[in-house]
Amino acid sequence: MLASEIRTGLDAAIWPATARAEPDGDVSIGGVRIAALAARYGTPLQILDEEDVRGRCRAFRDAFGDAEIAYAGKAFLCRGMASLIAEEGLSLDVCSDGELAVARAVRFPPGRVLMHGNAKTPDDLRAALGYGVGRVVADSFSEIARLAAAPDGARTRMLIRVAPGVDGGTHAALTTGTDGQKFGFPLSTGAAAEAVRRVLGQHDAGGRGRRGPELAGLHCHLGSQITALDAFEEAARRMVALLAAVRDEHGVVLPELDLGGGFGVAYRPGEAEVDPRELGERVRRAVREACALHRLPVPRLVLEPGRAIAAHAGVTAYRVVSVKRAAAGGVLVAVDGGMSDNPRPGLYGAAYTVRLAGRRGTGGDRAATVVGRHCEAGDVLVRDARLPADVRPGDLLAVPCTGAYHHSMASNYNLVRRPPVVAVRDGRARTLVRRETAEDLLARDVG
Ligand SMILES: Cc1ncc(COP(=O)(O)O)c(C=O)c1O
Ligand SMILES: N[C@@H](CCCC[NH3+])C(=O)O
């Protein structure tokens, strides 16, 4: 056991920073016990450790010096989270007018908002330009033309999203830096250089000064849940080479280089995870060295971590509804949530750990599969789990590392109501997002 594990009784690499195993078998987070939270808010319940989020924001800021750290809101966004991100001095990456509406609701500083998306709708762009976001990350030639033609277009700043042809070795559905996927302008085909040409070509058209947005720099994002640091280094080198090619062709030194996010986290003990400090050292060194090679000034870096900020802060508490003996041995433990609050096992084969909370189990552990309540045989939350032999209906189970891409990807499948998100800190809990009600479900059903 690691020293940290002995101190908290939990694997610190998996559980939130303030999580503690209590002597009676319960788990507390932010000084509040899961059993107390479940009694007050019901289950399923998504718990967010505020200290954990803040600590990870600071770790990224410390690791990257004067770089801009933009939290990727797609991982988990609500007003409380946006405020916390703003307080910690991070910027915010949004990818829809819906995410922007949340930023707007807390008056997130517009200059620190980046708008992404491979298919931004007219509403997305209107909202971005209307709010005066700091950068729009252009993803297609038609978007470049639309921005040039937009009434507010000339007042915004733009990054061009490049697919640098680097494979981060993650799940195919999460790979976004290679050729042949839908995001960005491929480097290999010359499309990225052509995108730069189009934007800069608008600037001196007819000697009338700049039409369309100012080109602030280049962007790439290799994908998500990547742990190979050499992939980020290689992308940095290729992107700096493109910055140098832009300088050589146009005489323009672009000031910003956004290397995206995608930093992988450990969901289970022993899994690899990106250490922000090591990432910062290696990526900054790769950029510095590439800039020296090309005799370029070092651009201002932007990083966009989503999962690495939010994942570990989240724990989902479920109530056991039934326990069945499984034909293949062990037990099937069915809980009151499932693929509607965590679609990741079904989508990516994602694996989790689970633990009994609220009491101490007896009789040793046995093999268990934790399944959800939905009408699909594939609604499995945790495979290959081990749970106390006496686990029974009414028990609480806690699944760690559910802070990113859980609430944000939750659905109403089977018209199940989405769970609340409750932030905990210093012995207090506060609702960030309340539980959905039957009235909520019926509110849009106007037929
Ligand atoms: C453009 C962009 N930036 C940042 C992220 C955040 O990724 P992650 O949550 O893996 O850090 C994503 C999602 O993969 C993205 O599409
Ligand atoms: N939804 C994915 C991550 C997608 C990243 C967004 N660009 C996941 O849960 O792992």
Q: Which of 304, 309, 312 to mutate to test the pocket of ligand 1 (most atoms within 8 A of CB)?
A: 304
Q: Report the percentage of the chain scoring pLDDT > 90.
A: 92
Beta-carbon neighbour count of residue 194 at 10 Å? 14
> Mind listing the pLDDT tens digit for each residue in 87-124?
999 999 999 999 999 999 999 999 999 999 999 999 99
The overall average pLDDT reported for the chain is: 96
- Please report which ligand is nearest the Cα atom of 310: 1
> Mind listing the pLDDT tens digit for each residue in 361-379?
998 999 999 999 999 999 9
| Residues 46, 420: Cα–Cα separation, whole Å | 6
Q: Which of 96, 348, 408 to mutate to test the pocket of ligand 2 (most atoms within 8 A of CB)?
A: 348
The residues annotated with a catalytic role in the active site are 375
User: How many angstroms is it from 223 CA to the middle of ligand 1?
Assistant: 7
The answer to whether 312 and 383 are in contact (CB under 8 A) is no
> Mind listing the pLDDT tens digit for each residue in 159-181?
999 999 999 999 999 999 999 99
Q: What is the reported pLDDT for 29?
A: 98
- Whole-model pTM? 0.97
User: How many angstroms is it from 311 CA to the middle of ligand 1?
Assistant: 13
Q: Distances in Å between the alpha carbon of 116 and those of 130, 203, 334?
A: 15, 22, 38
The answer to whether 169 and 264 are in contact (CB under 8 A) is no
User: How many angstroms is it from 383 CA to the middle of ligand 1?
Assistant: 26
Average pLDDT over residues 147-157: 90
Matching residue, tokens 């290959």: 384
Q: Are strands 314-325 and 45-49 parallel, antiparallel or unpaired?
A: antiparallel
Q: What is the reported pLDDT for 5?
A: 66
> Mind listing the pLDDT tens digit for each residue in 282-298?
999 999 999 999 999 99
The answer to whether 220 and 159 are in contact (CB under 8 A) is no
User: How many angstroms is it from 71 CA to the middle of ligand 1?
Assistant: 9
Judge whether residue 321 has pLDDT over 50. Answer: yes
Q: Which of 415, 404, 343 lies closest to 372 in space, CA to CA?
A: 343
In CATH terms, the superfamily for domain 3-49+312-443 is Lyase, Ornithine Decarboxylase; Chain A, domain 1 (2.40.37.10)
Of 91-100, 324-333, 414-423, the one with minimum mean pLDDT is: 324-333
ipTM of this model? Answer: 0.99
Q: Where are the beta strands (DSSP E) in 364-427?
A: 365-371, 380-388, 396-400, 421-425
**Which residue would you say has higher pLDDT here, 2 or 48?**
48
Q: What's the count of helices (H) and strands (E) in the chain, helices before strands?
A: 13, 21
Judge whether residue 202 has pLDDT over 70. Answer: yes
Confidence of residue 4 (pLDDT cuts 50, 70, 90): low
Q: Which CATH architecture has domain 51-310?
A: Alpha-Beta Barrel (3.20)
The answer to whether 375 and 394 are in contact (CB under 8 A) is no
Any idea where the domains of the chain sit in the sequence?
Answer: 3-49+312-443, 51-310
Calculate Rg over the CA atoms of the chain.
23
Burial of 67 (0-12, 13-18, 19+ CB in 10 A): buried
Residue nearest to atom 5 of ligand 1 (CA): 261
> Mind listing the pLDDT tens digit for each residue in 211-231?
789 999 999 999 999 999 999
Q: Which amino acid is at 3?
A: A
The answer to whether 30 and 266 are in contact (CB under 8 A) is no
Ligand 1 pocket list (CB less than 6 A): 72, 74-75, 93, 116, 221, 224-225, 260-263, 304-308
376 in a known ligand binding site: yes
Q: Where are the beta strands (DSSP E) in 212-360?
A: 214-219, 256-258, 300-303, 314-325, 331-335, 355-357
